[in-house]
Amino acid sequence: MAKKIIVAGLGHGGIATAAILAESGYDVTVYEMKSEGTLGYDWTDIFDPKALKIAEMDMPDEDKFEYKEDMTFVAPNGFSKLYQHVPEKELEIKMERKDIYDHFIKNAVDKGVKIVYDCEVQKPIMLGNRVVGIRTSNGDFFADLIIDSCGMNSPVRRNLPKSLMIEKEVTRKQKITIFRAFYNKASDVEVDDKFKVLIRPEGVEGISWIASEDEHTDILIGRFEEFDMDEVNRIIENLRPTNPRLGTEIVRGGQFVEIPVRHPLSVMVADGYAAIGDSAFMTVPLIGSGIANSLKAARILAETVINDPAQAFSVETLWKYQVLFYKHLGTGLAPLECVKNLMFKFTPEDLDYCFSSGILTDYNVTMTANFGSFFDVIDFFDVPDLINKAKQSVADPVLLMKMIGAGNRISAATATCLAIPRKWDRKLVEIWAKAYTKIFE
Ligand SMILES: Cc1cc2nc3c(=O)[nH]c(=O)nc-3n(C[C@H](O)[C@H](O)[C@H](O)COP(=O)(O)OP(=O)(O)OC[C@H]3O[C@@H](n4cnc5c(N)ncnc54)[C@H](O)[C@@H]3O)c2cc1C
């Protein structure tokens, strides 16, 4: 009889894993709290299309996506700028979130995945230290493996017993609150920088972007604290004089949401359990993109499951998924949290100086477009180069110390990720997870 697999939540990584496993003969069911046809948000997302092939998915139809344009990064002072020049073969695609979901769901259903909508997952069901099922609004369901794809606040992960050593909570600085909306077009005035990313605008801890599209202006405001519509309206008013196309009416979106921007989970597997996507914090900590990483992780997880000789899905065999995830993705992602944290340590004046003095360059912001591999990241955040840049360009010793401190933490994060225990040994993993987590405290 086919082994039974439950995917809790219809996240991108979960549905992609489900499709590969169903095609390989597993009996896979996804439980999703939203209703059919209502998934996603009313806006577009950007991701690396190469990840689709890795997750054994076709490219979407050509009328469903366009290639993303280069972005202009603006310093807190509002006038120092850096320009992306992403090579054609590295271009990401932009797609409506709803179309992304339709594409992923069709692929999964065609391969035999069953989806139960309107079903809220409440918590895991445990038998000793093994996850054996999920409690839901529709009753209890049991399986040989539970894949947790419920996102950042997954009730499965958050209700696991402490003995499994899986982190439950995200601190305030490890998630970014986003307001995203499309505003109507107020005029046809041509703008110089169509797609601007404002770093620490008005000196606050966060970013904003303003994309002057043909039919609307796409606004994203991200902060490491709560904010409300009064604050959004104030920011929009301040943006309007320099962005004459920005209208007053919200035509799409207009919601507040959260994205994890932190290192991936220190332990993402247990007997009968594996987390993927935002449940395991697989986003790029600097920019919050998580779709491509979820797809790449899906392939790794599915292959680990298929190649499990005993098909027992014990923590020992699932640990291989985590080791491979860190080898291919995690080792590149985790150090980026140290870079993100450096933004908190920098004053807006420090950042202005980085833009104008050559510490940050067009090449650096081009690389942020697509962290495809561990080596891209190491190339970008090459520590000796970072220290060299700092020594050459920084006249301010306080700024220099901040950069050297970050360089040390980046090195420590990279070295710790590379030292992940190759085999599951509870004691060793516990020591490793503590050392890894400490780097980001
Ligand atoms: C505003 C915004 C913009 C973003 N832009 C981009 C972008 O441009 N590019 C990019 O790569 N990434 C982007 N991301 C991040 C990206 O959405 C995620 O990293 C990626 O989708 C992986 O998350 P996930 O699918 O694992 O989790 P989620 O997207 O959180 O999906 C979790 C799923 O589980 C379901 N669920 C949750 N709780 C329960 C429950 N209790 N019971 C049943 N079902 C449940 C949810 O309804 C949802 O369907 C953005 C995120 C946000 C919020």
3-class DSSP state for residue 343? helix
The 10 Å Cβ neighbour count of residue 142 is 13
Cβ-Cβ contacts under 8 Å for 347 (sequence gap 6 or more): none
What is the distance in A from the centroid of ligand 1 to the CA of 206? 20
> Is the dihedral angle over the CA atoms 301, 302, 305, 307 positive or is it negative?
negative
Cα distance between residue 161 and residue 159, in whole Å: 6
Atom of ligand 1 nearest to the CA of 12: 25
Atom of ligand 1 nearest to the CA of 31: 43
SS3 content of the chain, % helix, strand, coil (to 5): 40, 25, 35
- The predicted pLDDT at position 384 comes to 61
- The predicted pLDDT at position 402 comes to 82
What is the distance in A from the centroid of ligand 1 to the CA of 162? 25
- The predicted pLDDT at position 356 comes to 86
Cβ-Cβ contacts under 8 Å for 250 (sequence gap 6 or more): 181, 182, 183, 184
Q: What confidence tens digit (pLDDT) does each residue in 389-398 have?
A: 666 555 677 8
- The predicted pLDDT at position 374 comes to 38
Ligand 1 atom 10: the closest Cα is on which residue? 289
Ligand 1 atom 35: the closest Cα is on which residue? 9
Q: Report the pocket of ligand 1 as residue ranges, CB < 6 Å.
A: 9-13, 31-34, 39, 45-47, 120-121, 149-151, 155, 178, 180, 257, 259, 277-279, 283, 288-292, 294
- The predicted pLDDT at position 348 comes to 92
Q: What confidence tens digit (pLDDT) does each residue in 49-103 have?
A: 999 999 999 999 999 999 988 999 999 999 999 998 888 888 999 999 999 999 9
pTM of the model: 0.93
Ligand 1 atom 50: the closest Cα is on which residue? 289
- The predicted pLDDT at position 395 comes to 66
Is the separation of the CB atoms in 413 and 335 below 8 Å? yes
Name the stretches of the chain with pLDDT < 50. 372-375, 377-378
Q: What confidence tens digit (pLDDT) does each residue in 414-427 have?
A: 999 999 999 999 99
Q: Pick from 281, 369, 286: which is nearest to 325 by CA? A: 281
The best mutation among 52, 149, 153, 276 to test binding of ligand 1, ranked by most ligand atoms within 8 Å of the C-beta, falls on 149
The 10 Å Cβ neighbour count of residue 419 is 12
- The predicted pLDDT at position 135 comes to 98
- The predicted pLDDT at position 372 comes to 44
